[in-house]
């Protein structure tokens, strides 16, 4: 049963609450009002009673009537007339002994009343009001002594208002109040229905329980994803920011309801708006971190209600990209090697079938020599397995492209320090060699690429040389910039920028020397950070 109360819909809850509230307020106010009202009615009855009694007691005709044989004859009509005028329930005049002279019920006239209630008037000439049931019923009565010209007390006037009647008039008043109250309750009910509907509209028809569940789920989801996420409203105020976003942007504290530029200072509004419509990504440097933002606008129907910005650390992305590219390259390089090997096998097979066994043997011998030479160089001079791997792959690739790839025999490289990661190496060496291969691939005639590595001093030195056509002077300053490419293809142009970034990350430098007869890239990486 109790459970059910909390399972009720929002509308029922609001309605119940509002009605309870209005009812209690109205009941409270009505009872106060009714109480005050009845106090006023009582007080009025009391006042009118005492004033009327006084007035009658002062009337000379009333005083004179007591001298007559039968005072009632004069007094009764007078008393009844005044009773009508002041709306009293009864006016009773008694003489000193309590004999009734006027009474609304004429049968009572002439009877003797006990004078308990008249005591103060008869003995002390007092004017007063009291609660009495001596005459007609329970009533509030005003009493006044009738005094003759000798200042003696000859009788008492009693003007009474019956409680029943007072209660009835109070009830009538309360009825009126209740009509108003009912009206107010009705208005309250209608208002609360409207309110409930309105709230439901705001909550997309969801019940608070559902909203709470969604909110909990959302929090769980937000904290579980490792992308930074910031939602902003139409005024560019942050409505939501997850933990990863704070971590990436190096923020602490509560950022909800603060303008977006508090969190991402260099995200210009123009950028924001432009990217919102294109749903494109945008790269920014925040806190010396490269982040890539994706900006998507949230729409309710066709109305824009806010924007979601998701972003990730580019270094992380780069790692992934690098890993991916490494895998791709290795497989590519392996494919190249296999292809090359197959080609050579075809050649040897061809030679043998044609009976040129001498040439075939020579070719095999050559192949062995080249491979051995290369391998010897690679494996003897270059001790680092990561670099070995990269170089071996590239040798295959070069061989397929009919490019002479040489590892300089003066190379010497011990195991690299641990802080140099495979990804970075792949980025630096792989990209530079790929660029060189590509560059010389355009040439007719001799195509040479050579690789040289040395780690004798404080620095590790890699040098990649090609005999390509070189880089024009006007472009030499831009080659390391993002998006720059001499190759007019989409999605390219990050190669050298990434190389340069990786080199800088390792605290190294990169130099390029390009004449009209090829290009040499030299990379210096300090052994200690």
Partner 1 sequence: MKKFFSVLTIAAVALLAACSSATTGSDEFPKKDIELVAPATPGGGWDGTARAIQKILKDEKIVDQNINVVNKPGGSGEVGWQYLSKQDAHSLAINSSLVLTNNLLGQSELTFEDFTPLAILTTEWISIAVPNDSKFQNATEIMEQLKEDPTSLKIAVAPGLGNNDHLSFVQAAKTYGVDVTKLNFMIYESGGDVVTALLGGHVDVATMAVSESKEQHVAGKFRIVSVSSDERIEGLEEVATWQEQGVDMVFPHWRGIMGPPDMTEEEIAYWDKVIGEMVETEAWKTLLKNNEWSSYYLDSEKTVEFLKEQNANYDELLSESGLTD
- Contacts to partner 1 by CB under 8 A: 50, 96, 114-116, 118-120, 122-128, 150-153
Q: Which single residue is written with the structure tokens 């004078």?
A: 115
Q: Give me the least distance between CB of 53 and partner 1, in Å please.
A: 10
Q: Give me the least distance between CB of 62 and partner 1, in Å please.
A: 18
Q: Give me the least distance between CB of 131 and partner 1, in Å please.
A: 13
Q: Give me the least distance between CB of 195 and partner 1, in Å please.
A: 26
User: Which C-beta is closer to partner 1: that of 149 or that of 473?
Assistant: 149
Strands ordered across the beta sheet of 519-526: 404-407, 448-454, 459-466, 519-526, 509-514
Q: Give me the least distance between CB of 126 and partner 1, in Å please.
A: 4
User: Which C-beta is closer to partner 1: that of 127 or that of 494?
Assistant: 127
User: Which C-beta is closer to partner 1: that of 89 or that of 118?
Assistant: 118
User: Which C-beta is closer to partner 1: that of 115 or that of 286?
Assistant: 115
Residues 6+ apart with CB under 8 A from 494: 482, 483
Query: How many C-alpha atoms does 289 have within 13 Å on its Cβ side?
Result: 20
Q: Which single residue is written with the structure tokens 């007019």?
A: 488
User: Which C-beta is closer to partner 1: that of 57 or that of 192?
Assistant: 57
User: Which C-beta is closer to partner 1: that of 100 or that of 153?
Assistant: 153
Residue 270 phi/psi, 5-degree rounding, is -60, -50
| C-alpha–C-alpha distance, residues 160 and 82, integer Å | 12
Residues in the chain: 529
**DSSP-assigned letters across all residues of 430-481:** IHHHHHHHHHHHT-SS--EEEEEEE-SSSEEEEEEEE-S----TTTTTTTTS
Q: Give me the least distance between CB of 117 and partner 1, in Å please.
A: 9
Tell me whether strands 128-132 and 238-241 are parallel, antiparallel or unpaired. unpaired
User: Which C-beta is closer to partner 1: that of 150 or that of 458?
Assistant: 150
User: Which C-beta is closer to partner 1: that of 120 or that of 237?
Assistant: 120
**DSSP-assigned letters across all residues of 40-71:** HHHHHHHHHHHHHHHHHHH-HHHHHHTTSS-H
Q: What is the DSSP secondary structure assignment for residue 412, as one 8-state letter?
A: B
Q: Give me the least distance between CB of 50 and partner 1, in Å please.
A: 7
Determine the 3-state secondary structure of 409 from DSSP.
coil
Nearest Cα neighbor of 464 from 501, 499, 422 is 499
Q: Give me the least distance between CB of 153 and partner 1, in Å please.
A: 7
């Amino acid at each position: 049963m109790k459970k059910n109360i909390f399972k009720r819909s929002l509308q029922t809850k609001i309605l119940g609450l509002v009605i309870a509230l209005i009812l209690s307020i109205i009941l409270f106010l009505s009872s106060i009002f009714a109480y005050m009202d009845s106090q006023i009615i009582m007080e009025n009855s009391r006042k009118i009673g005492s004033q009327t009694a006084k007035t009658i007691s002062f009337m000379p005709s009333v005083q004179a009537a007591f001298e007559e044989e039968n005072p009632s004859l004069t007094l009764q009509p007078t008393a009844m007339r005044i009773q009508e005028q002041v709306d009293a329930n009864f006016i009773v005049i008694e003489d000193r002994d309590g004999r009734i002279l006027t009474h609304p019920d004429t049968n009572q006239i002439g009877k003797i009343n006990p004078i308990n209630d008249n005591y103060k008037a008869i003995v002390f000439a007092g004017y007063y009001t009291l609660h009495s049931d001596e005459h007609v019923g329970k009533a509030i009565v005003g009493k006044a002594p009738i005094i003759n010209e000798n200042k003696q007390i000859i009788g008492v006037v009693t003007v009474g208002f019956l409680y029943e009647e007072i209660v009835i008039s109070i009830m009538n008043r309360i009825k009126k109040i209740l009509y108003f109250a009912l009206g107010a309750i009705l208005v309250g009910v209608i208002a609360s229905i409207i309110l409930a509907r309105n709230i439901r509209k705001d909550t997309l028809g969801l019940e608070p329980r559902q909203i709470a569940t969604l909110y909990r789920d959302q929090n769980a989801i937000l904290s579980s994803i490792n992308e930074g996420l910031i939602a902003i409203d139409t005024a560019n105020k942050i409505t939501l920011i997850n933990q990863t976003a704070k971590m990436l942007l190096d923020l602490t504290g509560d950022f909800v309801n603060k303008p977006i530029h508090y969190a991402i200072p260099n995200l210009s509004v123009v950028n924001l708006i432009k990217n919102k419509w294109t749903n494109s990504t945008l790269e920014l440097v925040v806190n010396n971190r490269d982040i890539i933002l994706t900006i998507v606008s949230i729409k309710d129907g066709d109305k824009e209600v806010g924007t979601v910005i998701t972003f990730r650390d580019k270094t992380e992305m780069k790692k992934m990209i690098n890993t991916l590219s490494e895998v791709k390259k290795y497989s590519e390089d392996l494919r190249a090697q296999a292809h090359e090997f197959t080609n050579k096998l075809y050649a040897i097979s061809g030679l043998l079938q044609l009976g040129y066994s001498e040439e075939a043997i020579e070719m095999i011998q050559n192949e062995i020599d080249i491979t051995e030479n290369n391998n010897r160089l690679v494996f003897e001079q270059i001790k680092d397995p990561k670099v070995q791997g990269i170089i071996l792959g590239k040798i295959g690739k070069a061989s397929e492209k009919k490019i002479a790839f040489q590892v300089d025999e003066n190379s010497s490289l011990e195991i690299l320090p641990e802080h140099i990661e495979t990804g970075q190496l792949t980025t630096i060496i792989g990209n530079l060699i790929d660029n060189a291969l590509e560059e010389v691939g355009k040439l007719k005639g001799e195509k040479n690429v050579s690789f040289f590595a040395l780690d004798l001093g404080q620095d590790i030195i890699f040098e990649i040389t090609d005999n390509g056509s070189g880089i024009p002077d006007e472009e030499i300053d831009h080659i390391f910039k993002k998006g720059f490419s001499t190759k007019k293809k989409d999605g390219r142009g990050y190669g050298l920028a990434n190389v340069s970034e990786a080199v800088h990350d390792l605290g190294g430098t990169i130099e390029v020397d390009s004449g009209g007869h090829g290009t040499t890239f030299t990379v210096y990486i300090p052994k200690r950070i």
